[in-house]
Amino acid sequence: MTRDDRAAWQVLCQDRFQAGVPLSRYTAIRTGGPAKWLLDARDESEIASALGLARRLGIPTLMMGCGSNLLISDHGFDGLVVRLGPGFNRMTAAGLCVRAQAGATLKAVACFAADRNLSGLSFAAGIPGSLGGACYMNAGAFGGEMAQTITFLDCLDPEGRRLTVTVGQAAFGYRHSRMMEEGLIVLGAELRLQPGHKEELYRQMREYQACRLEKQPLTYPSAGSFFKRPAGLFAGKLIEEAGLKGLTVGKAQVSGKHAGFLINLGGATTADFLALKSEVQRRVMAASGVMLEPEVRIIPEEAGK
Ligand SMILES: Cc1cc2nc3c(=O)[nH]c(=O)nc-3n(C[C@H](O)[C@H](O)[C@H](O)COP(=O)(O)OP(=O)(O)OC[C@H]3O[C@@H](n4cnc5c(N)ncnc54)[C@H](O)[C@@H]3O)c2cc1C
């Protein structure tokens, strides 16, 4: 850490960071205390310099996409939260490839591809995340997952240095990636798709969305399926079989419509969700011997233990 670093940080604090912004504003589950600093990044160099400085100054950082898979402590985040500002959603197509920046929503990328008769992303259209968050999580649904379409990712390492990660280097697994292991920031991705028909692709997306509306409690704030699927099993089924539909802590509840979803009845806190999560884990373990592991990213990690 140098005096220049501290001075540069002060400039960012004055000119670019917002202080004390409640993160519940940006999470799909509508909980989360304030960020000490929040940056809506304008461009890659701003992310790189803010991350590099934070690293040298020992300040924790958190990258945030659409906030659809985040459960952040009621005490907030004692560091810098970086969001991708409006300049981070450009998309281009060439042949069977689509390149998109990490801030583009999955829905926008899926529609961009469908409009060009490119197939392979219909599964993703109803996942309410950004491309960056989806690559980090290797998000998936209806038998598809991001890893099947990606050729390479443009990333930044935690020091703010640029690197290209090919699909073979990305260590994708079920809701897992190298970006998760190494704290890499996704700036954008190239996706390789197949020829398709626009009308058929939109029909498929509507069908998937109807299926979500029928099965998922989409009228309540949530982070989607709270737990990962244990090998060969379904978390929601195990929770239902343990008799936990409707189990409530404070204002957090196991959905009666889909037991895999923990929903915010209105005014829930992250503490409510963490207590509910532990109770569900305990009772499912007692009923079936399976330890459910959260899919939702709990921040800070220790809070989820
Ligand atoms: C109603 C509902 C339905 C859902 N259905 C599905 C589903 O069918 N399948 C599925 O897989 N998920 C589903 N989800 C969960 C969620 O939408 C996905 O995990 C999504 O990919 C998260 O993207 P995000 O941009 O919201 O990421 P965030 O929630 O903002 O962040 C998630 C993680 O990604 C990291 N991250 C975000 N952006 C970047 C970036 N640019 N670079 C590096 N790291 C980053 C964050 O630090 C965090 O650790 C659902 C959620 C909801 C609320």
* Residue ID of nearest Cα to ligand 1 atom 19: 69
Active site residues: 175, 225, 295
What is the pLDDT at residue 192?
98
Top-level class of domain 217-304: alpha beta
39 lines ligand 1 (CB under 6 A): no
Top-level class of domain 89-200: alpha beta
Atom index in ligand 1 nearest the CA of residue 145 equals 11
Residue with tokens 């709270």: 226
| Distance (Å) from CA 133 to ligand 1 centroid | 5
Which residues make Cβ contacts (< 8 Å) with residue 305, sequence separation at least 6?
none
| Distance (Å) from CA 44 to ligand 1 centroid | 21
The pTM of the whole model exceeds 0.95: yes
Site to substitute for ligand 1 among 23, 68, 211, 234, most atoms within 8 A of C-beta: 68
Query: What tens digit of pLDDT does each residue of 67-81 get?
Result: 999 999 999 999 999
* Residue ID of nearest Cα to ligand 1 atom 28: 67
What is the pLDDT at residue 2?
83
Domain 3-86 in CATH 3.30.43.10: yes
222 lines ligand 1 (CB under 6 A): yes
128 lines ligand 1 (CB under 6 A): yes
187 lines ligand 1 (CB under 6 A): no
Reported as a pLDDT band with limits 50, 70 and 90, residue 85 is: confident
154 is written with which tokens? 């443009």
| Distance (Å) from CA 64 to ligand 1 centroid | 9
pLDDT value at 304 more than 80? no
Q: Domain limits of the chain?
A: 3-86, 89-200, 217-304
What is the pLDDT at residue 114?
98
What is the pLDDT at residue 1?
67
Site to substitute for ligand 1 among 23, 105, 127, 138, most atoms within 8 A of C-beta: 127
124 lines ligand 1 (CB under 6 A): no
| Distance (Å) from CA 224 to ligand 1 centroid | 9
* Residue ID of nearest Cα to ligand 1 atom 52: 224
Query: What tens digit of pLDDT does each residue of 249-279 get?
Result: 999 999 999 999 999 999 999 999 999 999 9
